[in-house]
């Protein structure tokens, strides 16, 4: 995490500076193991926003979150609700917003948050420097303008997610366009197919995330009248439209590439068939030449101009036979032309 995003000693005096040796462990600066983020009692670094929009860094586990919520309302949530906020479910969970007594649980990758009436806990993924800056900016903007903190925090989180998806689109779409332009203009396309395939996989993942987020927002707009004032649906719909158009462009370019490859393959098959036919027709004159070369007395060699007659017949046999076979195949719908 960048130095600008590290928590200060005044905002979180009980925290040490965190060192992240890998993606699965949290270790404090003095070497104590804080726990695995995916274990039942593991701690994760979270960003806590208060009702004024100020942010502090906290290390919390699922049990700590459950106890914090239950202090506001007994039996408001269960551990199964908190379990959805774990990173281990990031690839399998559909984006969801769970409303419970005194709490709103937001599970929208890459942001997972717990919203209460006076504070909000946002769990930070790895490499979340840009995400933190957008969260702080949106919380300051929305909390100062809203009456209810819960809706302001929810709107700030959703605005951040929409902005993250828009930034991902701005990164992936230019790469896809440049790859498509290069493939449509260059004949050496085989090496570019692997790069296009990786871009297509990234586009598919982004399209799934944006589609899930759009379905979530549409569901909220159908059930919550207060959320109609948000601008989020139009923004996420624009991102989804751009991703869908880019995915269609990739599919169309793949179809064009496959058509070009099929045309080259058909051309090679046509050349191979032509050469095979010529070899077959030349086999008959070769047999005649072999027959004349045998050590037998046939008296044919005494006939005047017999050599030129046999030579002309063999040449005409090859040419006429090739023409007849080509015309027959053409009537059957098989083009033997060498033009590409």
Query: What confidence score (pLDDT) does residue 238 get?
Result: 66
- pLDDT, one tens digit per residue, over 240-288 is 677 777 777 788 787 878 878 888 888 888 888 888 988 888 888 888 8
Question: What pLDDT sits at residue 103?
Answer: 78
Contacts of 265 (CB under 8 A, 6+ apart): none
Cα separation of 333 and 60, whole Å?
73
At 16 the pLDDT is 38
Element (H, E) at 34: strand 33-35
- As a whole number of angstroms, the distance between CA 200 and CA 202 comes to 5
pLDDT of residue 242: 74
Distance CA(2)–CA(101), nearest Å, equals 36
pLDDT of residue 237: 63
pLDDT of the residue at 63: 80
pLDDT of residue 119: 83
pTM of the model: 0.48
Q: How many CB atoms lie within 10 A of CB 204?
A: 13
Which residues have C-beta within 8 Å of that of residue 23, sequence separation ≥ 6? 126
Spans in the chain with pLDDT lower than 70? 1-42, 51, 70-81, 87-93, 144-147, 183-194, 220-240, 295-296, 340
- pLDDT the model gives residue 32: 42
CB atoms within 10 A of CB 226: 11
8 A C-beta contact, residue 156 and residue 55: no
- In the chain the domains, ranked by start, together with CATH numbers, are 1-126 (2.40.128.330), 267-331 (no CATH)
What is the tens place of the pLDDT at every residue in 122-158?
Answer: 887 777 777 888 888 888 887 766 567 777 888 888 8
Angle subtended by helix axes 232-292 and 190-223, to nearest 10: 150
């Amino acid at each position: 995490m960048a130095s600008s995003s590290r928590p200060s000693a005044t905002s979180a005096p009980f925290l040490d500076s965190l060192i992240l040796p890998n993606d699965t462990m949290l270790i404090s600066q003095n070497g104590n193991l804080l726990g695995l983020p995916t274990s039942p009692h593991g701690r994760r670094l979270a960003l806590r926003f208060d009702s004024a929009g100020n942010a502090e860094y906290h290390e919390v586990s699922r049990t700590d979150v459950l106890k914090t919520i239950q202090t506001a309302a007994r039996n408001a949530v269960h551990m199964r609700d908190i379990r959805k906020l774990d990173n281990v479910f990031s690839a399998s969970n559909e984006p969801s917003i769970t409303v419970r007594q005194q709490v709103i649980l937001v599970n929208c990758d890459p942001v997972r948050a717990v919203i209460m009436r006076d504070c909000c806990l946002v769990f930070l993924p790895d490499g979340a420097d840009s995400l933190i800056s957008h969260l702080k900016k949106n919380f300051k903007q929305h909390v100062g303008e809203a009456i209810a903190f819960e809706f302001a925090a929810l709107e700030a989180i959703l605005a951040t997610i929409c902005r993250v998806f828009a930034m991902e689109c701005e990164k992936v779409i230019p790469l896809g366009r440049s790859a498509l332009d290069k493939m449509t203009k260059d004949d050496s396309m085989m090496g570019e197919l692997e790069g296009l395939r990786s871009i297509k996989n990234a586009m598919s993942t982004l399209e799934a995330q944006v589609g899930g987020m759009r379905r979530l927002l549409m569901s909220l707009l159908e059930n919550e009248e207060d959320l109609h004032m948000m601008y989020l649906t139009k923004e996420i719909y624009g991102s989804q439209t751009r991703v869908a158009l880019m995915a269609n462009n990739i599919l169309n370019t793949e179809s064009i590439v496959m058509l070009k490859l099929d045309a080259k393959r058909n051309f090679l098959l046509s050349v191979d068939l032509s050469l095979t036919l010529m070899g077959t027709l030349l086999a008959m004159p070769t047999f005649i030449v072999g027959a004349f070369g045998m050590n037998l007395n046939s008296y044919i060699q005494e006939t005047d101009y017999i050599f030129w007659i046999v030579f002309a017949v063999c040449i005409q046999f090859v040419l006429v036979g090739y023409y007849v076979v080509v015309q027959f195949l053409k009537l059957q719908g098989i083009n033997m032309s060498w033009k590409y």
